[in-house]
Amino acid sequence: MLIGNNEIDINTVEMIKYIENPNIIKIKVDTSTAFDINMIAKQNNLKGIFVKKLLEKIENEPENREKFERAIEIGINAFNREINT
């Protein structure tokens, strides 16, 4: 298992093609992008509202924490790409 922060772009569309292939080794990467979620949740913009809503979901549905945290990471990365391009 890899643990840490990542700053790489992964082409998920391309990777989906290989998921069902039994000859491909599957690696689980347990990394996260370095950002302050609580600071982002205080922002008065769409990204802040998005993060705040998902943090509320984590509070209300702790059993789904991993799923919501992943959604936050994907969402923030998408927002950041949109802003930077």
Q: What is the pLDDT of residue 85?
A: 47
d(CA 41, CA 58): 13
**Cα–Cα dist 11/77, whole Å:** 13
Q: What are phi and psi of 39, to 5 degrees?
A: -65, -40
Nearest to 15 by CA among 23, 6, 7, 26: 26
The residue ranges of every structural domain in the chain are: 2-84
Position 15 pLDDT exceeds 80: no
Q: Which residue has the tokens 């799923």?
A: 67
pLDDT at 59: 96
Q: Which residue has the higher pLDDT, 9 or 69?
A: 69
Q: Above 90 in pLDDT, residue 1?
A: no
pLDDT at 16 over 50: yes
pTM check: above 0.75: no
Q: Which one, of 34, 79, 81, 76, lies nearest residue 55 by Cα?
A: 76
The candidate with the shortest Cα–Cα distance to 38, out of 18, 67, 59, 62, is 59
Contact 79, 47 (CB under 8 A): yes
Could you report the per-residue pLDDT of 31-79, keeping only the tens digit for each? 655 778 899 999 999 999 999 999 999 999 999 998 999 899 889 888 8
